[in-house]
Amino acid sequence: MTPNPNENANSSPTSSRALRDWVNEVAALTKPDAIVWCDGSEAEKNRLTKQAVTAGILIELNQQKRPGCYLHRSNPNDVARTEQLTFVCTPNQIDAGPTNNWSEPVETYAKLRGWLDGSMRGRTMYVVPYVMGPLGSPLSKVGVELTDSLYVVLNMRIMTRMGAAALEQLGESADFNRGIHCTLDLNPERRLICHFPQDNTIISVGSGYGGNALLSKKCFALRIASVLGRDEGWLAEHMLILGLQSPEGETTYIAAAFPSACGKTNLAMLTPPAEFKGWKVFTVGDDISWMRVGPDGGLWAVNPENGYFGVAPGTSAKSNLNAMKMVEHDTIFTNVAMTADGDVWWEGMDVPAPDGLLDWQGHPWKKGSTDKAAHPNSRFTTPMRNNPAWSPSADDPCGVPISAIIFGGRRATTVPLVLESMDWAHGVFMGATMGSETTAAASGAVGVLRRDPMAMLPFCGYNMGDYFAHWLKMRGSIKKPPRLFMVNWFRKDAAGNFIWPGYGENLRVLKWMLDRIHGRAGGRETPVGIVPDETELDLKGLDLSKSAARDALAVNPAEWKSELESAGELFEKIGPTMPKELKDRRQAILHSLDGEAPVRQIAAGR
């Protein structure tokens, strides 16, 4: 190929000596044929996309139907995050905690260097500088990923603020996250995703899948950033951020944490029901939130990302109309099915499977086949500005003020439709004990309860007990704390049917939260938190009986005793770092369920 003037680390466009030296060091180890410093320009995107199509990395889709859209088919052994091969490499194992895979740093570095030695011969090493968060924001961080994957480069361009702007923000500083990614030969036996929080470094080898290879995402924005947040006094969370605007023009921002398959993306892009005329929902972020205490003493949040890396199956005009609109153009699809005329298809799209479909591996697919046409974890990567509900506040360097934080899971029983905490520590307890029941698609077993505290169990880069302690400690610096809630859209009746319709109707629950925040609703106290009074939940135009509404909001003491006993097992697993305050809170709620103490004695007050 014709040499590019930037294809030499010594002629790099950065003024950071630390960055230049590091790129030279990695190049000396991996020995690429060329080095390309990515500038993030449109011309570069067009050039690299053309190269990817020529190399068969991307397949051009029907440009009349989906302009700017492409399909990528990954290796069948490389289609999801590999949690069992994901490690936190801290000098002391207790720093990683019992819920993370731990590996000793010196030995791990040595092993990875051995695998990386000469690994990019015959390949190009792309230098991908990027900013997490709005450009110029004091809440933002700079990262640099070195990768041999064109697919990664093009996805990073969508998911982050990538290129020259990142180098400008870095300036001469040495303060950036160092990420090394090499696909090697995609052999699962030589696949590791390793985090070194003490060095602000990530090394991922042997995988090209987004969650393992787009190092800005879970690796930096959560695992490394959670450690930075602990050390610097802020929170890096697996949370969406949305804005709700009432017909009167009052805008309130909410952050929310949900495990997978619990409607997180749908809530972030919610379409208000017909009865809620004049209401608007704005998406600031769909997946990750960085939250700091602002000058006013409140909690302010930015979405560190610049795009969406969403799950395709189950996404439809009914479940998420905005998502369907935003993937109409300038989107990279991964492992979905392809139609005979070059469009995309997946299960749950609410469109019948057309004839002549090719499955996610490129094989002809027959209607009625038990094999999925699209991989269950197939994805779309699309710019956040494609979203019709995109909020310009996503680019605000100050972030947005958070008035409520929601924790949610998929529970058939026990957890009511909505529950508000008594105080901050009670809210942390609710987040620390949240869980979800698996679906058949997720695990092959139905109804198995998995605890996933704050939806961060796979993504916290340090000891989970210390993470809870950090949440409790944050209360001391937040003068105007947000309200903390728990929701459950998935409660079932005696016949096994969902009680609550979900989707856009969830705005009715959010409205009650706003009424609580702004002093317009009283709520009803129970031993486990505050639920709406029957008259406070706006059900106009909804086909839901009063008895069904009562069932959705019910608090059953016997079920909650079992719930708290189960939560105690997680506390025991976390061990000596588990904060005493949360263990005491669990005991206090158990006593209240037994009628041994008034509800208000549980909390010290807001």
Catalytic annotation, residues = 262
Q: Which two tokens stand for residue 194?
A: 């390793």
The alpha-carbon radius of gyration of the chain (Å, integer) is: 24
Closest CA to 545 of 534, 532, 560: 534
- How far is 290 from 301, CA to CA, in rounded Å? 5
Q: Give the other-Cβ count within 10 Å of 511's Cβ.
A: 20
- How far is 458 from 460, CA to CA, in rounded Å? 6
Q: Which two tokens stand for residue 142?
A: 């700079």
- Residues with Cβ within 8 Å of 47's Cβ and at least 6 positions away in sequence, in order, are none
Longest distance between any two alpha carbons in the chain, whole Å: 79
Alpha-helical segments (H) within 341-410 = none
How many residues are there in the chain? 606
- How far is 24 from 31, CA to CA, in rounded Å? 10
Closest CA to 205 of 105, 82, 48, 101: 82
Catalogue the long-range contacts made by 223-226 (C-beta closer than 8 Å, 24 or more residues apart): 223/88, 223/195, 223/197, 223/459, 223/460, 223/461, 224/177, 224/195, 224/197, 224/200, 224/461, 225/132, 225/141, 225/290, 225/304, 225/461, 226/456, 226/459, 226/460, 226/461, 226/462, 226/467
Q: Which two tokens stand for residue 457?
A: 């169990």
Q: Give the other-Cβ count within 10 Å of 422's Cβ.
A: 23
Q: Which two tokens stand for residue 192?
A: 């590791």
Q: Which two tokens stand for residue 134?
A: 């709005």
